[in-house]
Structure 1
Amino acid sequence: MSIAWALFIPACFALNLAPGPNNLLSLNNAARQGLRTACLAASGRLLAFTAMIALAASGLALALQASAHLFLVIKVLGAGYLFWLAIQLWRAPSAELASTEGAPRRSLWTLTRQEFWVAAGNPKAILIFTAFLPQFIDPNQPVAAQFTLLGLAFLLLEWLAVLFYSMAGLHLGRLLAGPRARRLFNRGCAALLGSAGLGLLLSRRPA
């Protein structure tokens, strides 16, 4: 497993750091609500990923690979949710992106739910766990134990990615002093979320 771990950790961390809707949420939440709130809200994402890893480990993700209709339903729902978030950000008042002092607070539960549904609404995430993690499994060793360790490592690296994006968002939030800067940031995030939704909607089920 030593060679597998040496390959897994950098490859996995690169995957965790890739820009995506969840990392964008952490960036945005930190700029609007602060580092602690953004990191705590990301627990919704980790919960969704934990469920996906369990699905992949149990083999249930094969149903998603085999069923074009199931994949289509999940991706349409996920894309629709991203579009809805993008519209909410685009229309939000610029004051909503002020620094954490005096900014309108959104409940931690609301932000956590957003993180969860954005992660759960991407069927390709389950397929990533199905295709990515098994590459580092030694068939001559207990598979369940290896999958558990790899899954825990993935979640730990994902949390580090959350911290990275949240810290970036925190420093970015300090630069958003004027209403115009806050409005541009708001709409930039909305455009990126909308693009992610469009990309998900146009994605195809892997063969």
Structure 2
Amino acid sequence: MSRLNRILLATVLLLCSILWLQHRRTIRLTEERDRFRMNSTALLSDVKRMQIDSATMVLDAKALRLTIDEYKEFRAKDAETIERLGVKIRNLEVAARHEVEVKAPIDAAIRDTLIIRDTVPLLRQKVEMVTPYIQLTGLIENKRLKGDIKVPVTLNQAVWVEYKGWWFWKRVKAIHQSISSDNPYVEIRYSEYIRIQ
């Protein structure tokens, strides 16, 4: 009888361990399915562009969730850049990339100015345009414009989570990022936010 009890106990323990392993596998597959669904939604959804005021442009895009191996495979060039910065990919939590383009009209006044080179005064034409969004200064010499242009811009990024479900059954539906530019001449062409798991 004790042999029968040992066989029964061993069978119960074996069944419990199989049940626990299946439960863990189900949880992992469910998380993988949800991550795949979020990535598909992020890749297929449109990027929202909003003009908040005359100077602030906002771009809203959903975030991708990749494993370290997927990041190395699909974003190899970015991974190389990050490693050159001295960051180990296995320690990476989030990688973001933004592409901006500056397209601004130039309306600068041309004035005569006097410059001194080797104690010799020379008459040249000076170009100058100073606004809160563009600073352009230059000299016209030998039928060429030489100078500097500065386009100051601040990019603000906010990352937020969109949930679905109720109280205890809340689940992450999507992770969004909103990027805004404070310069009306700077267009955010592309933005990418990848969360590493």
Structure richer in strand, relative to its length: 2
Structure richer in helix, relative to its length: 1
TM bucket by the smaller chain?
A: under 0.3
Higher-Rg structure is 2
User: What's the TM-score once normalised by structure 1's chain length?
Assistant: 0.23
User: What's the TM-score once normalised by structure 2's chain length?
Assistant: 0.24
